[in-house]
Amino acid sequence: MLIILSGVLAISDTRRPLFISIGLAFLAVALRWIHYFYQLDLWFLLENITNILFWIYIAVYLLKFILHQHIITAELIYAAIAVYFIFGLAWAGTYQLLEISAPHSFALSNSAANEQNFIFQMWYFSMVTLTTLGYGDITPSTMLARVFVVLEAIMGQF
């Protein structure tokens, strides 16, 4: 929740982005708590969709800021680093969504994974893919998963 709050604060310079990001953040946190109390895949699915939309919105807003700058400053570099990590979060949500909707889209080296471990595993896999490090301990098993992984690896290069 602190990471989501930091995303809201990062774009809080004008009202419209602030209200949109607060709305998406509130929805993401509310769905997270609903899923916590009602362990249904539907709530986890809706939570992931909202999280992905939230992080994409934050990334696009920050990218607009970055692309409109003419002088490289520390703030610009920090924004670029933040966008890179935000892309990792958005892709992790995409992989979670894919695994929920099509089980066994990813082959994990350790099959005994609870939900929290699964969330971490997808974030870890996303960051390893984004940096094109590719340890190979988690691999995409389906064609759709492979397509998303390739797209993330290409995005990480840009």
Mean pLDDT in residue range 129-137: 86
Q: Indicate yes or no: pTM above 0.85.
A: no
* CA nearest neighbour of 26 among 61, 55, 62, 1: 1
The residue type of 155 is: M
Q: Is the pLDDT of residue 112 over 80?
A: no
Res. 113 pLDDT band, cuts 50 70 90: low
Stronger pLDDT, 139 or 17, i.e. the higher one: 139
Which pLDDT does position 144 carry in this prediction?
95
Lowest mean pLDDT among 6-20, 69-83, 84-98, 125-139: 6-20
Mean pLDDT in residue range 1-23: 79
Structural domain count of the chain: 1
Which pLDDT does position 111 carry in this prediction?
56
Give the domain range for residue 41: 2-157
* CA nearest neighbour of 75 among 13, 4, 1: 13
Question: End-to-end CA distance of the chain, in Å?
Answer: 28
Mean pLDDT in residue range 143-154: 93
CATH code for position 72? 1.10.287.70
Task: Give the percent of the chain with pLDDT over 90.
Answer: 33
Which pLDDT does position 114 carry in this prediction?
57
CB distance 8 to 21 below 8 Å: yes
Residue 45's φ and ψ, nearest 5 degrees, are: -65, -50
